[in-house]
C-alpha cells in the first residue's frame, strides 16, 4: 500500500507554508468551517493527474498574499517495510501560473506520470448532486474511477478533447473545411475516443461485478451502466470515424460535435429498489455514492495491486451514528490511507484503531493533542 507520509504546501490556497506528517491509516482533520480543511484534501488530490477535487482554475489555488504560484510536495511511503518510495510534487511557477508541472524525485516529469505512483479518489459535499446534475459531472466521476485503474486514460482523454476542439473550430469556419484535414482530425478522435470508451466500459463492467458480489450492508448497493454512445465490439475506432464523417453537416450546424464518447453518461440505480439514483432520496443518493467509492477502492486494490488514497470531505456530518461507525470500521479494515474532514472530533468517535489526528486553525495544521 502506498500512502502520503509527508505533505508540504507552499503558497497554496490559505496556506503560506505548511508541513505535516501522516500515518498509513485514517487521517482526521478537524476545525471550524472555513479553516482550510478542504484545501488540504485538494492538495492531496492534485498529487494525481487531473484538475483536483474542486476542478478549479490554477490561478485560484495560489495564496492571495504570495507570488502568484504554488507548490505541493509529498513523500510516498510503504508501511510494509517503512521505506520511502518516492518524492513527488506539483505546482506552478510565476512565469507560467496557468500551467501545472510535476516533479518525481526532484526531476521534471509529465503530469500523467503522477498516476503511476498514486491513485486518489474523493467524495465531497458538492458531489451530493452528482445524480441530479448534468451528465458532465458523472462523466468526470467515471473518468476519475477509470484513471485509478488505467493511468493512461488521462492521455487518451486529453488527446481526444484536443482533436475535437480542432475539428469544431474547422467546422465553424465560414469557409468550407479542408476535407483532408477534417479526416485527419476525425481519425485522431476515433483512435483516442475508442480507447477512452473501451476503458470506461471495462471499468463499469468490473465495478458492477464487484458491487454485485458485495454482501448487504449499511450503504445502498448500486447498479452501474453506461448510457449513450457505445464502441463497436469488432471495430470501435472505425465505427467512430465513420460516425464523425457522417455527422459533419449536423455538427457544423450545431457548432459542436454532437455525438461520441464525450456524450457518455454513467447510469446508476438503487439495486434493492430497482430505481434510478436521481429518483432516490437525498440520503439514499449519499449512501449510493459512498458505496460506489468504497467498492471502487476495493476494486483498485485488487486489480492494480495498490489501494487508492481516499479523500472524504465532511463525510460524517450527514450520517447517523450507526452508519458512521460502520463506515469507520470498513475503512479501518481496508488498510488504506483515508483523509477525512469534520468540524469537531466527536463526529469521529467511532474510530477504534490508531489514526492521525490533525487540528486546522489560523492557517496552520497541527497535531491534535
Domain regions of the chain by residue span: 1-119+308-369, 130-305
**Domain 1-119+308-369 is in which class?**
alpha beta
DSSP one-letter code for 80: T
Using CA atoms, how far apart are residues 227 and 135, in angstroms rounded to an integer?
A: 10
pLDDT for the residue 240: 94
Residue 225 has a CB neighbour count (10 Å cut-off) of 13
Helix (H, G, I), strand (E, B) or coil at 107: strand
- CA 250/CA 116 separation, integer angstroms: 40
Which one, of 199, 202, 206, lies nearest residue 298 by Cα?
206
Residues of the chain with pLDDT under 50: none
User: Mind listing the pLDDT tens digit for each residue in 251-295?
Assistant: 999 999 999 999 999 999 999 999 999 999 988 898 899 999 999
Q: What is the DSSP letter of 62?
A: B
CA-CA distance, 20 to 244, in Å (whole number)?
50
According to the model, what pLDDT value does residue 335 have? 85
Contact present, 4 and 75 (Cβ < 8 Å): yes
Give 316's contacts (C-beta < 8 A, 6+ positions apart).
324, 327, 340, 342, 347, 348
Q: What DSSP letter does each residue of 193-245 carry, written as one string?
A: HHHHHHHHHHHHHHHHHHHHHSPP-SSPPEEEEEES----SS-HHHHHHHHHH
* Distant-in-sequence, close-in-space partners of 73: CB < 8 Å, separation ≥ 6: 7, 8, 10, 87, 88, 89, 103
Is 352:42 a contact under the CB 8 Å cutoff?
Answer: no
For residue 35, count CB atoms less than 10 angstroms from its CB and return exposed for 0-12, middle for 13-18, buried for 19 or more. Answer: buried
* Measured distance CA(77)–CA(82) in Å, rounded: 7
Give backbone dihedrals phi and psi of 60, rounded to 5 degrees, phi first: -75, -15
Predicted confidence at residue 1, as pLDDT, reads 74
CATH 1.20.1050.90 describes domain 130-305: yes
Q: Grid coordinates 498529487 are at which residue?
A: 47
- Residue 82 confidence (pLDDT): 64
**What global pTM score does this model have?**
0.90
Give the DSSP H/E element, type plus range, for residue 353.
none
Amino acid at each position: 500500500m502506498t500512502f502520503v507520509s509527508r505533505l508540504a504546501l507552499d503558497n497554496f490556497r490559505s496556506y503560506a507554508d505548511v508541513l505535516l506528517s501522516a500515518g498509513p491509516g485514517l487521517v482526521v482533520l478537524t476545525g471550524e468551517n472555513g479553516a482550510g480543511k478542504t484545501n488540504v484534501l485538494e492538495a492531496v488530490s492534485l498529487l494525481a493527474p487531473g484538475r483536483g477535487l474542486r476542478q478549479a482554475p490554477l490561478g485560484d489555488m495560489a495564496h492571495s498574499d504570495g507570488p502568484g504560484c504554488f507548490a505541493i510536495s509529498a513523500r510516498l511511503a510503504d508501511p510494509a517495510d517503512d521505506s520511502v518510495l518516492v518524492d513527488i510534487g506539483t505546482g506552478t511557477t510565476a512565469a507560467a501560473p496557468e500551467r501545472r508541472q510535476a516533479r518525481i524525485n526532484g526531476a521534471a516529469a509529465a503530469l500523467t506520470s503522477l498516476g503511476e505512483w498514486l491513485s486518489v479518489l474523493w467524495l465531497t459535499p458538492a458531489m451530493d448532486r452528482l445524480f441530479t446534475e448534468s451528465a458532465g459531472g458523472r462523466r468526470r466521476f467515471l473518468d476519475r474511477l477509470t484513471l485509478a485503474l488505467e493511468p493512461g486514460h488521462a492521455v487518451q482523454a486529453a488527446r481526444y478533447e484536443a482533436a475535437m476542439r480542432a475539428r469544431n473550430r474547422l467546422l465553424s469556419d465560414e469557409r468550407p473545411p479542408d476535407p483532408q484535414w477534417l479526416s485527419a482530425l476525425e481519425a485522431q478522435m476515433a483512435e483516442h475516443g475508442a480507447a477512452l470508451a473501451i476503458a470506461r466500459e471495462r471499468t463499469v463492467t468490473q465495478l458492477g461485478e464487484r458491487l454485485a458480489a458485495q454482501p448487504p450492508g449499511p450503504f445502498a448497493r448500486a447498479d452501474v451502466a453506461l448510457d449513450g454512445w457505445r464502441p463497436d465490439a469488432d471495430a470501435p475506432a472505425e465505427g467512430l470515424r465513420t460516425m464523425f464523417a457522417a455527422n459533419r453537416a449536423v455538427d457544423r450546424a450545431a457548432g459542436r460535435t454532437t455525438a461520441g464518447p464525450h456524450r457518455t453518461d454513467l447510469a446508476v440505480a438503487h439495486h434493492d429498489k430497482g430505481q434510478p439514483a436521481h429518483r432516490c432520496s437525498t440520503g439514499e443518493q449519499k449512501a449510493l455514492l459512498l458505496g460506489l467509492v468504497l467498492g471502487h477502492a476495493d476494486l483498485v486494490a485488487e486489480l492494480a495491486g495498490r489501494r487508492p488514497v481516499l479523500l472524504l470531505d465532511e463525510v460524517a456530518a450527514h450520517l447517523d451514528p450507526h452508519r458512521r461507525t460502520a463506515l469507520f470500521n470498513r475503512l479501518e479494515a481496508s488498510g488504506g490511507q483515508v483523509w477525512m474532514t469534520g468540524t469537531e472530533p466527536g463526529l469521529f468517535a467511532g474510530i477504534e484503531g490508531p489514526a492521525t489526528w490533525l487540528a486546522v486553525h489560523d492557517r496552520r495544521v497541527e497535531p491534535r493533542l
